[in-house]
């Protein structure tokens, strides 16, 4: 048992640079949490939780062997329930800010953050169904609740700053404004067309932040100078200045209808017009679904931020898809296990904590191997963390090859999952099986 428990000692060693044992205790004291001395105290509980997620959210029956602690599943679950959710949020914030200053040497432009949405699924229990909901094409008892996730990532380090959890049927912009306080004046937020609107850009500008988003598909854009605004088939913006070929400044008007998710005070505080820069560029057809990209941004200085740099900054946005793939595929966050609302939020917070731990190791390896941190293999880093012994130095990790022209069809070859999907609750299907068995006799 003592030899197996080295895995837990190793986790403590890896977390030491940015989450010490005293940091866990300080976070508990800060939220007013009190505890008594026991095997699963707050420090041990956090470390065991991290160990569990790092091993692909393994079962508790396996976890007790990994940790080398004689614990029952009920005792471990109660220990996690005792810890307030705010403790995990404080620890996540600490890990994200610990490496905020570690920008890539090749990084240019403002401090950039990426925002995007995704989802996960959780157990089918009434409380989670009420909180998150499930897709409308699934009958009751035949689907799972689907929390919508909104992640904020540091573009230079890959660290996740925050993960907002919303109901499935909620717009991404209804929660993205809650991430704005995590940014500093002068920061740039990059996202896809779901975050592009007058309201969002104006809220960013009110905080001294910049936005760069792909133009929403419903917005009409014209690069004809001195064009007329309004009318059917015409853009609603007012032309201001031409900055270059397919590069212009326009004034967007405040929408007449208030978004449902905004309060009246928030809406009234928005300006009547907002100056926006519109940029359009083309992508090579090879391996690309998108050929024409139109950008809306509040980076208005064309000398400081030329058209090519705008295209490069939006190109970085695609790395957020890789970040979510690392969370959901490599770390198995595609489906969480907790059956309470508070438990789901804690589980997601620890996923982010482990994700930042892996990226911290990737940053260290990239500095030693003198490569871009984004080239270090996330999967290879996880494998080393789960197999390294106490005191083992960081080896040279796998460097992914740079293949900018690589493309693959959006199809899969694996056909092993051919079981029919449920269209009735399990209890009804079991009754039908019993009836068929009785009739066969």
pLDDT in tens, 73-118: 999 999 999 999 999 999 999 888 877 655 544 456 688 999 999 9
How many Å apart are CA 132 and CA 129, to the nearest integer? 6
Asked if pLDDT for residue 242 goes beyond 50, the answer is yes
The answer to whether 210 and 110 have CB atoms below 8 angstroms apart is: yes
- 19-28, 194-203, 288-297, 359-368: which range is least confident on average? 288-297
Asked if pLDDT for residue 390 goes beyond 80, the answer is yes
More confident residue, 4 or 58: 58
Read off the pLDDT of residues 319-361 as tens digits, 9 standing for 90 and up. 999 999 999 999 999 999 999 999 999 999 999 999 999 999 9
Q: Beta strand pairing status for 148-154 and 160-166?
A: antiparallel
The answer to whether 328 and 334 have CB atoms below 8 angstroms apart is: yes
Cα separations in angstroms, 393 against 18, 365, 368, 376, 397: 18, 11, 12, 17, 12
User: pLDDT confidence of 286, banded at 50, 70, 90?
Assistant: low
R_g of the chain computed on alpha carbons: 25
- Determine the pLDDT at residue 102: 52
Mean pLDDT, rounded, for 434-439: 83
How many Å apart are CA 320 and CA 66, to the nearest integer? 32
- Determine the pLDDT at residue 2: 38
The answer to whether 258 and 264 have CB atoms below 8 angstroms apart is: yes
Helix (H, G, I), strand (E, B) or coil at 18: coil
More confident residue, 229 or 188: 188
Helix (H, G, I), strand (E, B) or coil at 150: strand
Query: Mean of the per-residue pLDDT values for the chain?
Result: 89
**Please, what's the b/e burial string for 99-122 (b: 16 or more CB within 10 A of its CB; e: otherwise)?**
beebeeeeeebbbbbbbbbbbbbb
User: pLDDT confidence of 441, banded at 50, 70, 90?
Assistant: low
- Determine the pLDDT at residue 104: 44
How many Å apart are CA 344 and CA 80, to the nearest integer? 11
Asked if pLDDT for residue 397 goes beyond 70, the answer is yes
């Amino acid at each position: 048992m003592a030899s197996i428990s080295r895995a837990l000692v190793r986790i403590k060693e890896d977390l030491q640079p940015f989450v010490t044992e005293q940091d866990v205790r300080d976070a508990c004291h800060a939220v007013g949490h009190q505890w008594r001395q026991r095997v699963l105290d707050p420090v041990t509980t956090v470390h065991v939780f991290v160990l569990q997620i790092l091993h692909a959210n393994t079962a508790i029956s396996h976890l007790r062997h990994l940790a080398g602690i004689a614990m029952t599943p009920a005792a471990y679950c109660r220990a996690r329930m005792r810890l307030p959710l705010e403790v995990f949020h404080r620890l996540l914030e600490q890990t994200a800010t610990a490496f905020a200053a570690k920008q890539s040497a090749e990084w240019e432009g403002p401090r950039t953050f990426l925002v995007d949405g995704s989802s996960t699924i959780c157990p089918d229990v009434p409380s989670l169904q009420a909180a998150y909901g499930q897709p409308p094409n699934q009958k009751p008892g035949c689907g799972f609740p689907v929390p919508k996730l909104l992640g904020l990532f540091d573009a230079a380090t890959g660290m996740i700053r925050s993960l907002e959890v919303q109901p499935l049927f909620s717009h991404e912009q209804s929660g993205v404004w809650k991430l704005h306080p995590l940014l500093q004046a002068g920061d740039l937020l990059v996202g896809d067309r779901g975050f592009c609107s007058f309201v969002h850009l104006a809220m960013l500008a009110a905080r001294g932040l910049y936005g760069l988003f792909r133009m929403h598909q419903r917005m009409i854009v014209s690069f004809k100078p001195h064009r007329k605004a309004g009318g059917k088939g015409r853009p609603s913006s007012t032309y201001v200045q031409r900055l270059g070929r397919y590069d212009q400044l326009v004034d967007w008007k405040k929408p007449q209808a208030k978004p449902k998710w905004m309060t009246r005070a928030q809406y009234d505080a928005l300006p009547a017009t907002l100056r926006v820069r519109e940029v359009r560029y083309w992508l090579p057809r090879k391996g690309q679904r998108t050929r024409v990209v139109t950008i809306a941004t509040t980076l208005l200085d064309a000398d400081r931020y030329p058209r090519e740099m705008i295209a490069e900054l939006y190109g970085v946005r695609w790395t957020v898809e890789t970040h979510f793939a690392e969370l959901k595929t490599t770390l198995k966050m595609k489906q969480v296990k907790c059956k309470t609302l508070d438990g789901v939020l804690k589980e997601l917070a620890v996923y982010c904590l482990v994700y930042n731990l892996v990226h911290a190791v990737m940053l260290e390896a990239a500095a030693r191997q003198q490569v871009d941190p984004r080239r270090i293999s996330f999967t290879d880093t996880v494998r080393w963390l789960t197999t390294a012994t106490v005191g083992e130095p960081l080896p040279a990790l796998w460097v992914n090859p740079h293949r900018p022209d690589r493309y693959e069809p959006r199809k899969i070859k694996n056909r092993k999952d051919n079981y029919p999907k449920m269209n009735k609750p399990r209890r009804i299907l079991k009754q039908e099986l019993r009836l068929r068995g009785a009739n066969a006799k």
